[in-house]
Structure formats: structure tokens, C-alpha cells
Amino acid sequence: MTDYENELLADFGSDGESDVDVEGIEDKNLEVEDENGYVPGGPREKSSESSETGGGASLDPGAYLRHLISNSSITSLQKSLETFDISKIYDITKDSKVLPIIGYLRDKISSYQDDMRTDYEELMSTLTFGTSSNSEVSEHSSSEISQYQFILMVNEISSIINNEVSFIHAFNTLHYKVVFRELETIVSNPVDYARIMLLIEQDLSSINKYQEDLKSIVSNEKVLVITMSAIQQVQNSSDFKLSEPDFNTLRKSSSLVLELNELLQDLSVFISNKLFRFAPNINAIVGPITTSQLLTASGSLKQLSITPSCNLPSLGVKDLSSQTSGSTSRRIRQTGYLYHNELVNQLPEEIQKPVLRILSGKITLAARVDLSKNATDGSLGSKYRLDIENKIEKLLAPPENRGDKALPIPMDPKSKKRGGRRFRKARERLQMSDLRKAQNKMAFGQQEDSIMDSFGEEIGLGMSRGVSTAGGSSSLNIKVNNRVGGKVSKAMEARLKNEEANVNLDNFLQNTNKEERTERNATNDATRRINDERSESKWFSGMKRKRDTND
Amino acid sequence: MGSVFLPHLHTGWHVDQAILSEDERLVIVRFGRVYERECMIMDEFLFGIAEKIKNFATVYLCDIDEVPDFNSMYELYDPCTVMFFYRNKHMMCDFGTGNNNKLNFLVGDKQELIDIIETIYRGARKGKGLVISPIDYSAKH
């Protein structure tokens, strides 16, 4: 048991793995055996051999696959670059995590592809004879479930394979650099790089004879650039060559890249075939990759169909909390699977959001159609796809150029004021009084009277006092506007009266208090004095005091 | 450039017809020489606003060398003179410059020109022969 655990640890190259995890794997391992009934080799029987082969091939591939998926962090490129020092690795194929299970995956694919045919035959037979036993049906569905799970798993493993390819690519470039420095910058695709490396090996000086073969790998322009830089390399630097065993490891690793790439292609073909059966309409809209991603993220087709469409763009978002930093896009927070789909990804940023909305709406509809097993040929999905493309085209169209809009005719609108008795009265109440008008006028050549207001401002009285003639008395007879002034409502009148009574009562009480203190003066007198105090302003307090002393 | 797109009046008769034929709209006639700087700028302004004011005004251009008929009557000796007519009546506008008969200076921008035209149109609709410009140009010109 411990032996087995140690092996696992060694395989995964991560020292941080706890024992609990490993036991978890073992549990999964057992489950897989039960589910699939596929046991290529018992782990415990083969454990003795594994030390010799040095690979994970000895383990149950299904369990191994699950482990890889559940610990996808350890397979990420960055992690592997951190944990492994590429320059010190001699044979990278030994560290490959996917290599041991290639065979298993191939087996699975072929078996399920055969399944499709047999399923179909079975279905036909049950239809024709009309006698399908329950056990047969359940068997059928269980195989379907496991197949479905395998599809979901394949989706995960493809990203792992991609990571591994870039890891090996890093290894290749590091070692091949000494032979052909510029190839890395010219050919960025790992697969093409590996192919070219296998083709020309270390024979840079006679690169011209490979030209035809190179043309089958990369474009003509690239071939030219590669040839030129290879000749340059030969001329400039001393013709450095790797030793044969060194280059052998490079050969091995690049053929591994090719193999992995082939596996990836097989997987994608398999998945698109299979998805066409499970979810033909979604597949028709967004293609097999996004479909499988969405199915994985939501769990099942049923789950996907009951997910509200507004939630679909959020599926596959790496970290919702770190969206504020906005490294990728400021407009779109939900950079999930749909965002990375080629239908959305290449669009300009400003219309990505509406397109995401349209797309997710259609996907939800298509998921429901798929769930109900209608339109199994994906016709509805392709119709939706056309709709979406039309809508995108409309969104992409530039806005119509309308030119300048003519200004409206500058006509003054008719006054909305009403006429009539009531309106006239209201206006009279608020209009300036004749007295005020007279105040604003000044007699010519005469000094006007003025008063000081409470703020110390001088206010001219104009002709309101009447122009003082030689006699000194007013000669103007100014009409007083009786209609000016606010009206007091009955309620207000009652309130005022009430208030007055209260004030009187207060005064009375205060007076009695004062009387007690001073012990003199009649109540009437005191009332009058307090009233004075209230009504008169502070400037007259001196007078009052004087009167008090007089008293 | 704007002068190319606006209608030109090539004879005195055309000028008369242009002023006479318009019943509801203000007729704006620019008298001047296309090659003068001031005239070019004014043409550019007029072309820029012609589409906007088309509901209440129409713009014509007239070369004072090609059509000298009005030069003495309207005292057209500036490089660029803009005159306003409404129902065959010459509209005057008090710009504060002393000459109420015509706009013979450059206004600041298109919007100022639109404001002036709108004000003249309002006055014209009310039957006034002289309106006061919304902007006073006494200090500027």
C-alpha cells in the first residue's frame, strides 16, 4: 500500500500531495472499475513492475486520468516550469503525464465509436421486434452515462495535453536553440516547430534541399525566412552540433509532441462526433469545444437547459473576484467559455456584450430543444446560428449618416396666460402698488427724503411722500391700492386669535412673577410694559429702562 | 470650399427673383468676392449652417464683380457683405456697428450667425423692419 502511494507521489512530481488525496484517488479508481468495467491492469499486481518502466502506465488509466483532471493545477505549464528545471531534465518523455494514458484514451475512443454503431443496431432491433427487456434498456442508459462522463473528461484532458505540449515545446526550444537560434521566433507553433526540427535535424548548411518538404509544413514565405536565417546561422556562428544521444532525446520529445497533437485531433473529432449526438443544436451554434465546456461547467444537458441564459456567460470565468483589475477587458466582466468562443472573441469590444447576450439566449433555447430530443439533426441550431450571424452583422454595421438636422422655425409660442375676472384680481393682488411706483420715481432737481432701514441702509422715498412744494406739504394725491395684500383664511384667523389669547395669558403669568419680585405696579401697567418689551426693538431698551426708573 | 455647394446668382434678374420668390423664408444673400479671405470664411460659415436653417432661411451667393447692379444701391464695397430679405423687404439689424443695413464683418462662429438669423426671422414675422442683434459687435468691429 505504501509502496503504491510512494509511486503515485513520484509520478505526479508534487511533494505537497497529502496521503488523503492519494486514498481519494484509489477510491475513484475503484469506482471507475465498477462503472466502466475496464481494468487494463490491477494497480497492485503491476506495482512491482512499475519501478522498472518508470511510468504511470502501470496504474489504472481511468483513475490516473481522473487524478490528472482533479489536480489540473499541477499540470499547468507555469507550475511545471516551477517544479521542474527544464535545463536539468535529460529525457523529458519520462516526465510526460499524458504519455502513459495515450493508449487508454485511444482504446476508449475506438470503443465508444464502435458503441455508436452497436447502439444504433440495438435500437433498430428493439424497434423492429418491439421486445426490449428492462435490463437491456438500463444497460443501454448506463453505457450512455459513462460515455457522457468520458466526453466531459476528454474536454478536461485536452487542456492538460495542451499544457504538456507547451511544456515540451519549452524543453525543445531550450535545447535546439544552440543549433538553430531563430527558429523559435519564426515558428511559434509547437507542432510545426517539432516537425521542422525532425526534418532538418542539425543539417543547417544544406537547408536548401529541404525546401520542398518545408513547404508542406509552413507557408512559402516562412520557408524563405527559415532558409535565410539558417544560412545566416551557419555563416555567423561556428557550426555547433549536439551530440547524437543529446539529439536523440530531442527527437523523442518532438515525436511526443506530434503524437500528442495527433491525440488532440482525434479527441476533438471524437468529441464533435459525439456531441453531435448529445447536443446537436448547441453544437451547431457554438461548435464542439464550447459545447463540451458548457456541458462540463453546468454538469449535464439538463442542468444547462435550466440555467438562465443570463448566467451562461459566467460559466468558465476563472476568478470573478479579480475582475476589477480588468486585465483583459474593461467592458466585459464575464470572460467565460462563451467569451472565448470564436464567434464572440474576434468581434470588436463594444458589441461583444450584446452578442454574448444573444448567444446565451439561443444556447439556452437550443439546450432545451436538445433535451427534448427534437431537431436531432441540429437544423434548429444552424438556423439559430444564422440568426445570430445576421444580428452580429447588423450590430457591426456603421450607424446611418443622417447629416445635420434642420433647426425648428423660431416661432415664439403663444402666451399661455389666461384672462378673466379671477385672473385679473389675482394679478392685482400681486402687482406693484402705486405708492411703491411713486417711490421709484424721483422729482427732477430736488433732494428726495430718505430713511434708514434696520440694516443701516439708506432708502430713498422718491415721490412716495409727495413732492415737497415750496409750502413743504405734499401735493401729490397717491391712490392706495386696496386690493393689494394677502388674504387671511378663516382657519388662519382663528389660529391667530387663539395665539393672541395665549400671549396674553403668558404675559399675565410673567407679570405676576415680576410683581412678586418687585412688589409694585398694577397688573395693567406691567402688561403694558411687557408688551412694549416684546414689540419694541432693542434700540429702544434705553428708553424703557429710563421709564422703569421713573416708575 | 463652401461657396461651391451654395447656389450662385449670376445676374441681377436672378438676385431679384431669389428675393421675390421666397414667401415664408428669410433670404440671405452674400455679396462679395470668392477669393477674398473674409468672404471665404463667411461662405464656409454659411455652407455649414445652410442645412440647419433651411426651415426658415435660404442662402444665396452673389459675386459683386459679376453682378455690379446692386453695388451702388446697397453700397457694396466690402470684401464680404451679407444682407437679409423677407418677402421682398430688406431687413435691418442693429449690430451696434453703426451700419444696420448689412452684416459686413465676420461673426465669431456659426452659432452666432444662426442666432442673428433667428432673431431677424422672428422680427420679420412680426412685421418689424429693424431688429436688435442678440450679440453686440460695437466693441469688436
CATH number of the domain within which B45 lies: 3.40.30.10
What is the distance in angstroms between the Cα of A415 and the nearest Cα belonging to chain B? 15
Q: Is the pLDDT of residue B45 over 70?
A: yes
Residue B140 placed within a domain: no
Would you place residue A56 in the very low, low, confident or very high pLDDT band (cuts 50, 70, 90)? very low
pLDDT band at A9 (very low <50, low <70, confident <90, very high): very low
Please answer yes or no on whether B53 and A404 come within 8 Å at the CB atom. no
What pLDDT, on a 0 to 100 scale, did the predictor assign at position A541? 47
What is the pLDDT of chain A when averaged over all its residues? 72
CB < 8 Å to B121, chain A: 409-410
Using the beta-carbon criterion (under 8 Å), do A407 and B53 form an inter-chain contact? yes
Report the candidate in B43, B54, B53, B56 with the shortest Cα–Cα distance to residue B6. Answer: B43
Is residue B21 one of the residues assigned to a domain? Answer: yes
Q: CA A79, CA A182: separation in Å to the nearest integer?
A: 27
Q: Which of B51, B54, B56 sits opposite A410 (nearest CB)?
A: B56
More confident residue, A190 or A13: A190
- Please give the grid coordinates belonging to residue A14: 508534487
B17 lies in some domain: yes
Q: CA A406, CA A546: separation in Å to the nearest integer? A: 79
Is residue A19's pLDDT more than 50?
no
Per DSSP, the three-state class of A28 is helix
pLDDT at site A330: 64
Residues of A in contact with B52 (CB under 8 A): 404-407
Contact A407 B125 (CB under 8 A): no
At residue A227 the predicted structure's pLDDT band, cuts being 50, 70 and 90, is confident
Inter-chain touch A412–B118, beta carbons under 8 Å: no
Neighboring chain B residues of A408 at a CB cutoff of 8 Å: 55
Which domains are present in chain A? 1-153 (no CATH), 284-318+332-398 (1.10.246.90)
Residue B23 lies in a domain: yes
Which of A164-178, A298-312, A511-525, B91-105 shows the lowest mean pLDDT across its residues? A511-525
Q: Which residue is closest to A403 within chain B, CA to CA? A: B51
- What is d(CA A33, CA A259) in angstroms, rounded to the nearest whole number? 27
In chain B, how many domains are there? 1
pLDDT tens string B7-37: 999 999 999 999 999 999 999 999 999 999 9
Cell numbers found for residue B94: 442693429
Whether residue B139 is contained in a domain is answered as: no
Residue B64 within a domain: yes
pLDDT higher than threshold 70 for residue A416? yes
ipTM greater than cut 0.90:
no
Total-model pTM: 0.43
CA distance A456 to A433: 25
Residue with cell 428726495: A448
B8-9 and B57-63 as β-strands: parallel, antiparallel, unpaired? parallel
> Three-class SS string for A476-530?
CCCCCCCCCCCCCCHHHHHHHHHHHHHHHHHHHHHHHHHHHHHCCCCHHHHHHHH
Which residues form the domain of B38? 2-132
